[in-house]
Amino acid sequence: MPRPSLKETNFKFPGQLNLYRGKVRDVYTFESSLVMVASDRISAFDVVLPKPIPYKGQILNQIASEFLNATAHIVPNWLESTPDPNVSIGKKCEAIQVEMVIRGYLAGHAWREYRDGKRSLCGVPLPDGLKENDKLPEPIITPSTKAHEGHDEDISRSEILSKGLVLEEDYILLEQYTKELFQFGTNVAAERGLILVDTKYEFGKHDGKIYLIDEVHTPDSSRYFYMQGYQDRQDNNEKQKQLSKEFVRQWLIENGFQGKEGQQVPEMTDEVVNNISDRYVELYENVSGNKFVPPKEIDLLARVEEHIRKVL
């Protein structure tokens, strides 16, 4: 039986002011709240791929809500309720236009920059002699600007402050929250046999106060390695066994796609789609520590709309 998926929504709710369709979420704006629907769309290299991945939206939404609830003692967050496995409802915040990326290991984008000869990332110096996936001497914050279209860009702390993107007093708080959240995520990951390699946090303001917004510690916003065998793989120059969306990026790279002009997304066969879906289930069960319960309903669109209408 084919797995149900939720590609996009286009609801009309009473009191709805706007619908914003992001790369993977459909966001419904109301006077003081947001209804965020996590679709099964998947993006890589800032491109939304042509086919949705069954269960992905539910998995990311459930992980995000679990971590938002678990970190509310560190920083207040936007979330108020999750009336459906694919839906989160919460405070409407004005997004701060900087993403707080924090890295404990040299992987992904940071490794690619380092490999190409850079020894400073977002103004943070990096020592010589590191190899891919090595643990950094200490976690580093490498912010990026939030791009509405195209690629997010690396930016340094000094540039953020000189451009007035964030007030200095707010930025100090963002750094503090970022470090504390990363430490919390690192501890939870370790309990589950995982290493939290890097992640990003997004923040916004509501009534002058900073809130954590968007998703937290999900495999789309974070990279995880399996702890068991990590050091042996490093010592033997082997690839790390990882839990993140990086495997999707690697599949695309191997098939000649990195989001550059003129490149075509490779064919997403049913086998490819189901393989990615299976990997997301594996991610969910490892990251959350819970067994994944797939939806019983075939018509996810009707279920999602019904659950939202009940709470509005």
Give 131-161 pLDDT, tens digit per residue: 999 999 999 999 999 765 556 789 999 999 9
- How far apart are alpha carbons 127 and 110 in whole angstroms? 13
Q: For residue 226, give Cα distances in angstroms to 41, 165, 192, 301.
A: 26, 36, 9, 35
pLDDT of residue 147: 65
DSSP code, position 77: B
Q: Are strands 209-213 and 242-243 parallel, antiparallel or unpaired?
A: unpaired
- CATH 3.30.470.20 in the chain is located at 95-240
- How far apart are alpha carbons 185 and 199 in whole angstroms? 9
Q: pLDDT per residue over 279-304, tens digit each?
A: 999 989 999 999 999 999 999 999 99
pLDDT of residue 190: 97
The architecture (CATH level 2) of 95-240 comes to: 2-Layer Sandwich (3.30)
Identity of the residue numbered 136: L
Identity of the residue numbered 189: A
Half-sphere exposure of 156 (CA within 13 A, CB side): 9
DSSP code, position 260: -
pLDDT of residue 151: 63
The architecture (CATH level 2) of 18-94+245-271+280-311 comes to: 2-Layer Sandwich (3.30)
pLDDT of residue 148: 59
pLDDT of residue 57: 96
Helix (H) or strand (E) holding 187: helix 168-191
pLDDT of residue 157: 96
| Positions in the chain whose pLDDT score sits under 70 | 147-151
Where does the chain have alpha helices with state H? 56-70, 108-115, 157-162, 168-191, 230-235, 246-254, 270-288, 300-311
- How far apart are alpha carbons 112 and 26 in whole angstroms? 32
Q: Are strands 222-226 and 43-44 parallel, antiparallel or unpaired?
A: unpaired
286: left (phi over 0), alpha (psi -120 to 50) or beta: alpha
pLDDT of residue 247: 84
Instruction: Please answer whether residues 288 and 68 qualify as being in contact, where contact means their C-beta atoms are separated by less than 8 angstroms.
Output: no
- Residues facing 19 on adjacent strands: 28
Predicted structure pTM score: 0.90
